[in-house]
Amino acid sequence: MRLKRYASVALVAGLGLTVTACGSSASSSTPTTAAGSASSAPAAADTVTAINSLTGQGTSVTLNPDTAKALTGLGLTLAPSGSASFDSATSTVTFPITSGYAEIHSNHSYAPGYIVGSIQHDGSGLTISGAGKSVTLSDFVVDPGNSMLYGTVGGKPDVPLLYLDGSHVKVSMSGGNVVLDGTVAELTNTAATALDQTFGTTAVKAGLPLGTVHLVASGTATTYTDKTTAISRLGGQATNVALDASTVKALTGLGVTLGTYGTATLNGSTVSFPITGGFAAIHSDTSYKPGYIVGSIIHQGSGITLTAGGKTVTLSDFVVDPGDSILTGTVNGKIGVPLLVLDGSAVKVTPTSNGVTLDGTVAKLTQTAATALDQAFGTTALTAGIPLGTVHLVATASTVKGSIND
């Protein structure tokens, strides 16, 4: 969020961090600032608290009573969907945090904002109903640096829904969690126009305050002072996996057919998953732990299917955590399943004019994924460590958005 006051890294510096890195070895290319879309830490004196691999708790929105009254007057009702919950006593809806990465800078002039990252809320959302119609807004992604909340609408991910006004935010610690209080969530022009068109009204306007945000983020943390190349809002391109020939042969021998889901594409033996959002930072200190490449890279609305014996398993909505060397995803509706270990010991990092390319990471099945597939298809041949393929990840930054007119 574009925040101007309050937060101190001392609030979170006491948290510990013990994870391993995807890109822990030295790169063949020295990371440099990508012109136009990536920003370096403005000064060596800037101390950053990085919270890797967020595991909870949730983002709560206390609905603005005037807005709720106005929506009711238009015949519209709000209801939680998926794993979201609603407290009628306080008019507060809560969306569980499912993954993410966040950084808090001691230098409050850091651009685009001194709190940056990407915070995901897969599997929850809001349903707005009226006039015999309904629209579901789900799978929210909070981009604090860009002061924006994105979501999936009608199957379309990465829609800017709420502008997050953090001018009066307060950052504190509670029970080991980082707490952000006081951000006001306002409808973007995109969201207001879509709602007016759906329900045949003209009264829903950009800037309408939906409510006040209370965000509680759990995760272990570390601090750093080395300069980084930070890509604060990923908008493409894709993560490509060149499938391992021996693994494909083994799956075929088991009668398992691989297909694509959603916006994923298969070209020869390479499957591609569009990047829909996220945050990435590349450290100049290649010995940085958990890994000199950190962040959260999102691929909403795409995946693969595995079919055999009349059964189909869908693996989708992948989130790459390069610092923790893991790829998680949704498996037949179950969120946050660890699917692939990312072996980045031979990764090559190449900065581009508006992003970064990562080549050579080997993706291997986790024990969780291997066991689940064996159980689904009645086999015993799939084991942890089987290489799915080699990853070629091309990440670029989207146009910076940060106003209610988006």
pLDDT along the chain (406 residues), means of 10: 34 28 36 39 71 93 96 95 97 98 92 92 97 96 95 94 94 86 97 94 94 94 89 91 96 95 97 96 90 94 96 97 96 96 93 88 97 93 95 83 62
pLDDT of residue 40: 43
Q: To 10 degrees, the CA torsion angle through 335, 121, 127, 148?
A: -150
Which stretch of DSSP H or E encloses residue 133?
strand 133-143
Place of tokens 């507060």: 92
Question: How does pLDDT run across 317-376, given as a tens digit for each residue?
Answer: 999 999 999 999 999 999 999 999 999 989 999 988 888 899 999 999 999 999 999 999
Q: If phi over 0 gives left and psi between -120 and 50 gives alpha, with beta otherwise, what is residue 392?
A: beta
Residue 222's pLDDT is: 86
pLDDT of residue 176: 78
**Is 145 within 8 Å of 127 (Cβ atoms)?**
no
Scanning the structure block, which residue is given the tokens 């890797």? Answer: 52
Contact between residue 171 and residue 178 where contact means Cβ atoms under 8 Å apart: yes
Cβ atoms of 170 and 180 closer than 8 Å: yes
CB 337 within 8 Å of CB 329: yes
Compute CA distances 369 → 328, 329, 337, 341, whole Å.
10, 10, 8, 10
pLDDT at 241: 98
The pTM for the full model equals 0.87
How open is the CA angle 274-53-143, to the nearest 5 degrees? 60
**ω into residue 367 within 30 of 0, thus cis?**
no
Pull the structure tokens for residue 24: 């822990």
The SS3 assignment for 256 reads: coil
A 10 A CB-CB count for 193 gives 14
Token digits of residue 91: 């008019």
| Residue 190 to residue 115: CA distance in whole angstroms | 24
